[in-house]
């Protein structure tokens, strides 16, 4: 059955589109002597697809509580358009110690302005601060990914514990970014 599938892929002139990241996309029994990893997922494409989407890139990403790694396929645009984004307050900012200071500072800097202008300035300052905070979370996520990559192949208790801690921290930071 698998040879028939391979023949169909070969007969269709499909090739595997490469992806970055960890290449083993499935695992079972991590931390035991029966630990198995396999490269299950591939991205079969033909020449026509490559001609249209030649700037695409793909990477494997760690999912939450799964023994499968997802493959993220990104279609890159030739031209980037800068769209003005609407301000959105993030509730998790309230847990950050500097949030109140940002609002108080922005509010006091434009105390002679009308209410609408003060609100707009406050939104602008909160947006800048929020972007800085988000970039910090993204750096932490990248650090967690590096820790996971360093300990991924380890089967000793310390290595498995380090992988689990890094994965848990990454999920926590991802949750903050999504809120």
Question: What string of pLDDT tens digits covers the 179 residues of the chain?
Answer: 778 877 787 778 788 888 887 777 778 887 788 888 887 777 888 888 878 887 888 887 776 667 777 878 888 755 555 666 788 888 889 988 899 999 999 999 988 888 888 898 999 999 999 999 989 989 999 999 899 888 888 888 998 899 989 989 998 888 887 76
Q: Domain limits at 31?
A: 1-83
Q: Which of 65, 83, 101 is the last residue of a domain?
A: 83
Predicted confidence at residue 98, as pLDDT, reads 92
CA-to-CA dists, residue 49 to 11, 58, 68, angstroms = 16, 14, 26
Q: Please answer whether residues 72 and 58 qualify as being in contact, where contact means their C-beta atoms are separated by less than 8 angstroms.
A: yes
| Pair (139, 149) in one structural domain | yes
| Pair (74, 100) in one structural domain | no
Predicted confidence at residue 179, as pLDDT, reads 66
| Pair (73, 103) in one structural domain | no
Angstrom distance (rounded) from CA 101 to CA 99? 5
Predicted confidence at residue 45, as pLDDT, reads 84
| Pair (76, 96) in one structural domain | no
Name the DSSP letter for residue 53. S
Q: Which of 58, 83, 108 is the last residue of a domain?
A: 83
Which residue has 């396929």 as its token pair? 73
pTM of the model: 0.54
């Amino acid at each position: 059955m698998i040879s028939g599938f391979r023949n169909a892929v070969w007969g269709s002139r499909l090739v595997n589109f490469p992806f970055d990241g960890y290449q083993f996309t499935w695992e079972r029994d991590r931390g035991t002597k029966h630990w198995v990893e396999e490269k299950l997922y591939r991205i079969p494409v033909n020449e026509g697809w490559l001609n249209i989407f030649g700037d695409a890139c793909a990477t494997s990403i760690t999912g939450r509580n799964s023994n499968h790694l997802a493959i993220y396929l990104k279609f890159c645009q030739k031209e980037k358009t800068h769209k003005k984004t609407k301000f959105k307050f993030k509730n998790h900012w309230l847990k950050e110690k500097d949030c109140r200071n940002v609002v108080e500072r922005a509010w006091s800097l434009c105390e002679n302005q009308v209410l609408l202008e003060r609100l707009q300035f406050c939104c602008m300052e909160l947006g800048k601060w929020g972007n800085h905070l988000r970039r910090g979370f993204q750096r932490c996520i990248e650090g967690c990914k590096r820790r996971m990559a360093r300990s991924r192949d380890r089967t000793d208790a310390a290595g498995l514990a380090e992988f689990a801690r890094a994965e848990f921290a990454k999920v926590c930071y991802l949750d903050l970014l999504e809120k």
